A and B are shown apart, each in its own frame.
Chain A
């Protein structure tokens, strides 16, 4: 039942809005749109000593998209880009069911009902893809 999409943990994440607002002195900034639904996120990332130390974002999107952006800002700071990439892979596995599913961290599990709703995968993945691109840009800088 799709009401599970909107379980309390997801609503709490979206409502908390971790990382809402733009960062000053960002290492990189990236804006991505989901042209299918109009969701848009502008995300800033700040790095120091090879670690992501802060994420800020302006997210105009659905509850799932806002929850995913909030998750990033709450969970990723303190991680290296490689560690973020691992989380990104876990989310993809959670949604798309890769043949060799890696162990998926508990904090991502509230997103598991989205798996059954392919049209919503992009909502959850948009913030992750935005951060991935921002990190690529930061590395190039």
Chain B
């Protein structure tokens, strides 16, 4: 199937309406929303808005069906065994916190959770909080010189007390993709579960959680062309079934008496209260759309732009690229430092060229410090990015230096 990024831009209203033209390269923070999600949310709230579950009137039936259809679409996107393995959350952060609480409640003092120094704070701080609550031990995989997770250290660091290895699927700073097969093989050797933070991976194509042979997967809607305020936790059915609830409230119970409650089966056990129904429907729509796209062509397009960006940055002696500088096992997220120039100043000047870039620690302070920095500039490419966007950034960098030096 052919792929035309310029034509695709017409399906993203903000990109078409932006005046002056926008060179949006902040997709790793939030991608622009696809019209399928906008329409689905709008239609839902106009024509079938009602609370889900238990209602017997026709609107409630329609809303429940739409919500569960969204769950099925998410399951299809992830190649989950069943939609019951999909829990809607408010985003990847909430999904990771859910695991840290509910799976975390099954851990005992001295049990170990393996992380890495490349994690987003969302896959780090919840485990630190669990350490405070449960007395678990956190271990951190080191990084290679180019910022990849050093899996060569895994064998020596794994012990029989390791219950979970929780790693990013793709770094939000370097774009490096984790070698999941190596992690899973090692985890199985000691009976540990594997969690992947997929927040930076899903915008680059469907994921096969069964093929990866993992136990947990988390992602956000707003980074994969979908709505804010909605995300997914996928977990293997038997793992979810063994986990106690996280939040309590309506919708997640069986029988409630003053003495106690019984709890619903997953996924409802983990969806207390009224969920973000319209957002889930919007996410379902966008995941269905993503599931049909020609990903081979999209990857070729994104890699062509990545190659152009890396070449442009490498051509400058004052720029240091953080992370891999080749195209192997990476997504098109590129962080870089310009000698002597603070990322916030860099991004501020680029803004006047219509270039939207992000500067700072990217909620990954241990990784940024690994590079000896306090912050970095980050350009992240999406399927609708064009060569003009990359060139606007590279041209803008000349002005950055002229203004700030």
The answer to whether the Cβ of B352 comes within 8 Å of any Cβ in the partner chain is: yes
Let me know if B349 and A63 touch, CB within 8 A.
no
**12 cross-chain CB contacts under 8 A:** A2-B348, A2-B351, A37-B360, A37-B361, A38-B375, A39-B374, A61-B342, A62-B342, A62-B343, A63-B404, A64-B344, A123-B344
| Residue from B352, B359, B404 with most neighbouring chain A CB atoms (10 Å) | B404
Would you call B17 an interface residue if the criterion is a C-beta within 8 Å of the partner chain's C-beta atoms? Answer: no
Count chain B residues whose beta carbon lies closer than 8 angstroms to a beta carbon of A. Answer: 17
Contact indicator A120/B375 (Cβ below 8 Å): no
Does residue B4 face the partner (Cβ distance < 8 Å to A)?
A: no
Q: How far is the CB of B353 from chain A (nearest CB, A)?
A: 11
Taking the closest CB of chain B, its distance from the CB of A124, in whole angstroms, is 12
Q: How far is the CA of A39 from the CA of B361 in the complex (A)?
A: 10
What class of interface size applies to chain A in its complex with B? Answer: 10 to 19
Residues of chain B touching chain A, judged by Cβ–Cβ distance below 8 Å, are 342-345, 348-349, 351-352, 359-361, 365, 368, 374-375, 403-404
B374 to chain A, nearest CB (A): 5
Contact status A117-B348, CB under 8 Å: yes
- Bound form: Cα–Cα A64–B343 in Å: 12
Beta-carbon contacts under 8 Å, A21-73 to B: 36-40, 60-64
Cα A64 to Cα B346 with chains together (Å): 12
Question: Is B374 a contact partner of A40 (Cβ separation < 8 A)?
Answer: yes
Which B residues touch A117, using CB under 8 A?
Answer: 348
From known contacts A38-B360, A38-B361, A38-B375, infer whether A2 and B352 are also in contact, taking CB-CB under 8 Å.
yes
Q: Complex Cα distance A6/B349, Å?
A: 9
- Contact between A6 and B345, CB atoms less than 8 A apart: yes
Q: Is residue A1 within 8 Å, beta carbon to beta carbon, of the partner chain?
A: yes
Please give me the residue from chain B that is nearest to A65 by CB atom.
B342
- Tell me whether A36 and B348 are in contact (CB under 8 A): no
A: residues with CB less than 8 A from B are 1-3, 5-6, 11, 36-40, 60-64, 117, 120, 123
B352 near A1 with CB under 8 A, answer: yes
**In the complex the two chains form, is B351's CB within 8 Å of A120's CB?**
no
Task: Tell me which of B343, B360, B365 contacts A36 (CB under 8 A).
Answer: B360
Are B403 and A3 neighbours in the complex by a CB distance under 8 Å? yes
- Neighbouring A residues of B344 by C-beta, 8 Å: 37, 62, 64, 120, 123
Verify A37–B375 contact, CB threshold 8 A.
yes
Q: Could you say which of B342, B349, B368 has the most chain A C-beta atoms within 10 Å of its C-beta?
A: B342
Q: Which 4 A-B pairs have the closest CB atoms?
A: A62-B342, A62-B344, A38-B361, A63-B345
CA of A62 to CA of B217, assembled, Å: 36
A64 to B403, CA, bound (A): 13
CB closest chain-A residue, reference B375? A38
Establish whether residues B342 and A63, one from each chain, have CB atoms under 8 Å apart when the complex forms.
Answer: yes
Q: B365 contacts A38, CB within 8 Å? A: yes
Query: For A36, what are the chain B residues with a Cβ–Cβ distance below 8 Å?
Result: 360
Q: Select A3's contact among B349, B359, B361, B365, beta carbons within 8 Å.
A: B349
Q: Assess whether B374 is in contact with A6, with CB atoms less than 8 Å apart.
A: no
Cα of A63 to Cα of B404 in the assembled complex, Å: 8
Alpha-carbon gap, A63 to B361, bound state (A): 16
* Residues of the A chain whose Cβ atoms lie less than 8 Å from the Cβ of B345: 6, 62-64
Task: A38-B368, A39-B374 are known; give 4 further A-B pairs, CB within 8 A.
Answer: A2-B352, A61-B342, A117-B348, A120-B348
CA distance A2 to B359 in the complex (A): 16
Q: Please indicate the chain B residues that have their CB under 8 angstroms from the CB of A6 in the complex.
A: 345, 349, 403-404
Bound: A2/B352 CA distance, A? 7
Report how far A63 CA is from B352 CA in the complex, Å: 17
Contact of B348 among A5, A38, A60, A61 (CB under 8 A): A5
Name the residue in A3, A117, A123 with the highest tally of chain B Cβ atoms < 10 Å from its Cβ.
A3
How far apart are B188's CB and chain A's nearest CB, in angstroms? Answer: 38
Chain B nearest CB, measured from A110 CB (Å): 15
B381 nearest CB across to chain A (Å): 23
Cα A60 to Cα B372 with chains together (Å): 13
